[in-house]
Every structure is written in structure tokens, then in C-alpha cells.
Amino acid sequence: MSRRHAIDPALFVEQITAHYPHERCHLDWDTTRPWTLLFAVMLSAQCTDARVNRVTPVLFRQFPDLEAYIAQPRELLEQCIHSTGFYRMKARNIHLTAEQLLTQHRGTVPDTMEELTALPGVGRKTANVILWNLYGKNVGFVVDTHVSRIAQRTGLTEQHSPEKIEQDLMRQLPQEAWGEMSHRLVQFGRDTCKAPVPRCSTCFLASSCPKRSVEKSR
């Protein structure tokens, strides 16, 4: 990838951090029950964080512990999460994950990539969210639609698959910044680097961003 057609990674981190110094996970969860973050992230697949945050208060009241996900009918779980989409598959994965957390991990959320991705419905993206937000571990870079779009427009990647985009970002951005940057980029994508039309005229990166594949902007 030619560096002439990409934003400087150090400048990118500096400016994003300056504009979003205090970003955190945008999903609501209960710090006394770490598995609530895991389930919230699982529900966020193909669904907005705002929608998930409307669903989880009721869900976590009706299913207050891991045992409840096993004891109560799966149909009730499906009803609770119906509006998040793909609710049957998500209910199945949450049910099986609750079971595995209890039987294989003594009710705790694992703290390694290998153990997390062995859970039903948990991929690298979900595992990266958990490892950073629960354990402060920068093992990988969370790549969602916002991060993918921003990385491509700024020229930090020419890839399209989340796995390859993650590898490009991990090579170019400092490891200690991975977790916090992922949250910052989500907000930046919502505020400015929108899909399909970004707000380039008011963007603080306008003078340094190559605006790759941006055909129309505001």
C-alpha cells in the first residue's frame, strides 16, 4: 500500500484521541455481572447498539443469572431479543454459551482469545471487545462497519474482510491504543465519517485524509 495515499497513522491516532478523549463501550452492561457485556455484544450483531440497549434492561431482569438462560424456555429468550434480529440463532448461541460458561468456566467469562472464540456465536470481534473492556487486554482491534469504513477511506487498509482490515490496523497503530481507538472510531463514524455520505467539510481530518472511495460528501 502506498503511503502517499494513506493518512499518517501517528497523526490519525493523535487527532482521533484529541477529539474523542473519553469514549467507552457504547453498550450498556452490568459490571457486577460481566457476562452481560458478552451477551450484549452477541446481540449487537447486525443490530444497532441503541436497539440492544433498549432490549437488555428487560432481558437482564428476566434472566438475572446464567442459570436462568438454561432453566427458562428458550422461547421466552427469543421473545425478549426478537427486535435485535436473527433472534433464534442469537437465543441458541446465548443459551449454549451460558451453559458452557457454567460447566467449563465456573460461571466466569474467559480471558483468552482461544477460549472466547470457542464459545458459540463468539468471533474475533466479540472476543476483542470482551478482552479490552473486561480485562484491559489489547489482543486485537475491534473491526465493525464503522471501523472498516474509516480505515478504508483514510487509506489505512485496502482490504474488505474484517480479518484482513484488523491485521492492517494492528500493524500500523500502536498496540496500547487498540482498545480505546475502536470505541473512538465508532463514535467518529456516527458523527462525521458516515455512510454513505461523510461530513468531510467539517471533519478535523479533512486536510490529511485521502478520502478513498468517497464520491460524495457534505
Contacts of residues 126-129 at CB distance under 8 Å and 24 or more positions apart, as own/partner, are: 126/38, 126/41, 126/42, 126/45, 128/178, 128/179, 128/182, 129/25, 129/37, 129/41, 129/182
For 118-176, give the DSSP string. TSTT--HHHHHHHHHHHH---SS----HHHHHHHHHTTS----SHHHHHHHHHHHS-GG
Task: Return the active site residues.
Answer: 125, 144
Return the residue matching grid coordinates 465493525: 144
